[in-house]
Amino acid sequence: MMAFSSLLDRLGPEISDPEEETFLLYSQDIPSQNLGFVDPQATTLDLSVAGKDYVIHQSPTILNRPGSTTGAVVWKITPLIADWLVASDNPLWTSNILSSCSDVLELGCGISGLVGLVLAPLVAKYTLTDQSYVARLVEKNIAENSPLGNPKQTKTTSQKRKGKPSAVYPKAELRFVPLDWELDEVTPSLTGSDKVKSFDLVIACDCIYNDTLIQPLVQTCADVCRLRASDKSSTDKSTVCLVAQQLRDPEIFESWIKEFNRYFQTWRIPNNALTEELRSNPGFVVHLGILRDAAETRN
Ligand SMILES: C[S@@+](CC[C@H](N)C(=O)[O-])C[C@H]1O[C@@H](n2cnc3c(N)ncnc32)[C@H](O)[C@@H]1O
């Protein structure tokens, strides 16, 4: 728990009352933005995160298909979270929750895989997950934006000359695995490794927007974090669960935080530990959770 106690020093008080947290967050002026897309009409986006450029393919056509296909385009909070996650003064790095040895899993990554593209070069392994409809585009985005995601891809002469793609950390790995919160079981095989059977960090970015998804999402977060307890090879560090979201409907937020708080001790990342861009956007919040002991889980 060493790493976690130094993280706690950077966080505010633990959230003891989810209703109060909802009240506090919604008593600020939340700008009414559009739903929160970066650009729902564009088929490619040029995004610059932490000094690097990414060309992301997205699909307005898939977005407009009937059914829930919100991951077909990039959501506004995501580039800001990616930027915050790689900042060297991010409390996850300074408290050693994140390190070059970390295994990270993302839930509901969408077609961009952007957080993974940005963070994977700095950690041991990054597993992107979502429903299988995102697979084709996320794999294309990984292949085109990162040599890490495509072991067959070798640098061309011009890439070598220009020194691109930059930040190649040969041991890093980035891959996509389908994982549906409502249909699939969480198993250690998600790590794709015989040696490592659990994750250090679980990330969900802008995945809270629909009441019916709250319970399966929180359950999936808890199931992934529980892998740590049965992973004999792991350290005693608990898996940390990070949930970033754009505040929309207060009832949906309250349902989520109540459900999340049943399973997880919960903190909000305070403004002074966020980047200026996240801070200056009162509708964007980041919470962090550590699984309660099974016996402690509230009914
Ligand atoms: C608003 S989008 C956010 C996408 C991406 N994280 C971003 O911020 O750009 C919500 C994501 O949750 C995913 N999602 C919704 N229901 C899901 C389920 N049952 N299982 C897995 N992922 C799901 C969607 O496919 C979508 O990618």
SS percent in the chain: helix, strand, coil, step 5: 40, 20, 40
Residue nearest to atom 25 of ligand 1 (CA): 71
The better pLDDT of the pair 154, 57 is held by 57
Contact 217, 179 (CB under 8 A): no
Query: CA nearest 85: which of 77, 8, 224, 218?
Result: 77
pLDDT band for 296, please (50, 70, 90 cuts): low
Q: Which of 207, 208, 219 to mutate to test the pocket of ligand 1 (most atoms within 8 A of CB)?
A: 207
Q: pTM score, two decimals? A: 0.90
Decide whether any atom of ligand 1 lies within 6 Å of the 207 Cβ: yes
H/E stretch holding 233: none
- Mean pLDDT of the residues in the chain: 87
**Measured distance CA(107)–CA(97) in Å, rounded:** 18
Domains defined along the chain, listed by start = 2-296 (3.40.50.150)
CA of 130 to the centre of ligand 1 (A): 6
pLDDT at 35: 73
Contact 62, 69 (CB under 8 A): yes
Per-residue model confidence as pLDDT tens digits over 245-281: 999 999 999 999 999 999 999 999 999 999 999 998 8
Residue nearest to atom 15 of ligand 1 (CA): 108
pLDDT at 155: 43
Residue type, 104: V
Decide whether any atom of ligand 1 lies within 6 Å of the 217 Cβ: no
Contacts of residue 7, Cβ cutoff 8 Å, sequence gap at least 6: 91, 92, 95, 97, 240, 288
Contact 11, 288 (CB under 8 A): yes
**What dihedral do alpha carbons 205, 210, 216, 220 form, nearest 10°?**
0
Per-residue model confidence as pLDDT tens digits over 175-215: 999 999 999 999 999 999 988 999 999 999 999 999 999 99
pLDDT at 60: 87
Asked if pLDDT for residue 34 goes beyond 70, the answer is: no
3-state secondary structure of 178: strand
Nearest atom of ligand 1 to the alpha carbon of 78: 8
